[in-house]
Structure 1
């Protein structure tokens, strides 16, 4: 499945947003994930937040790819 970002044409009817095509559950889970990352950044007040996010992204992709390869 390809990620579809918000298009600022959000709808709340049905199971999916008509703007981006994502399910409302996926949208809520993504918002919660971003909120957790923001809270972590605020709690630790990193001077190099961009580096933290880049390394976290790289690690997440590496782990996800390893899991997907095992399937």
Structure 2
């Protein structure tokens, strides 16, 4: 499944199982909002002055960890196989 960011505005819908604007399920949208809220709360708790650097770090690390768990090598889009 490919992530499609919300477009916002008048295209967003709350009825049914999926938003008519972005096509994402309302469950996915709600879970994403929870993750963002948790990151914001943590950022506020730590009183980070460099919010952009922190969120960029989290995004990079999360993507890298996901790739590693999927067998994708170093986490930078490289697929390094043993013995190559």
**TM-score, normalised with respect to structure 2:** 0.76
Structure-2 residue corresponding to 1:42: 44
How many residues align? The count is 70
Report the aligned-residue RMSD.
1.3
Which of 52, 71, 75 is the matching residue for 1:69?
71
Structure-2 residue corresponding to 1:6: 6
Relative CO higher for 1 or 2, CA cutoff 8 Å, sep ≥ 6? 1
> How far apart are 1:69 and its partner, in Å?
2.0
What runs of 5+ residues in structure 1 fail to find an aligned partner?
A: none
1:4-49 alpha-carbon deviations (Å, 9 max, x no partner): 1112211112111111000000000000000000001111111211
Taking the aligned partners of 2:33 and 2:2, their CA distance within structure 1 comes to 18
> How far apart are 1:50 and its partner, in Å?
1.4
**TM-score, normalised with respect to structure 1:** 0.89
Taking the aligned partners of 2:51 and 2:7, their CA distance within structure 1 comes to 26
Taking the aligned partners of 2:47 and 2:25, their CA distance within structure 1 comes to 33
Structure with the higher helix share, 1 or 2: 1
